[in-house]
Amino acid sequence: MTQAMADIKLAVTMRKFAEAINMQGPTTNLGFICPECNEKLSVHIGGVQGDHFEHLPGEKACSLIDKKI
């Protein structure tokens, strides 16, 4: 999958579509990357923090790691 710069609205739409068609594999990792460190991001929908990206576990340190991207 080609990686794309992070855009939460697009990512949420893609994740919901992936879930709707029962895409195999993790639907939170859809190829989005952090605009600062270029590491992979996972997509999270709703909850206390609202829609947001999180760096995948084990990714290197980034100044955006604790910020809602």
d(CA 6, CA 1): 14
Q: Is 65 contained in some domain?
A: no
pLDDT at 1: 46
Mean pLDDT of the chain, nearest integer:
75
pLDDT, one tens digit per residue, over 18-27 is 888 887 666 5
**30 belongs to a structural domain:** yes
Q: What is the pLDDT of residues 31-65, one digit of tens each?
A: 788 888 888 888 888 878 888 888 877 666 787 76
Q: How many domains does the chain have?
A: 1
Distances (CA, A) of 37 to 5, 56, 63: 11, 12, 9
3-state secondary structure of 53: strand
| Residue 15 near residue 27 (C-beta atoms within 8 A) | yes
Q: Are 39 and 31 in contact (CB under 8 A)?
A: no
**Which domain does 28 fall in, by range?**
4-55
Is pTM beyond 0.75? Reply is no
31 located within any domain? yes
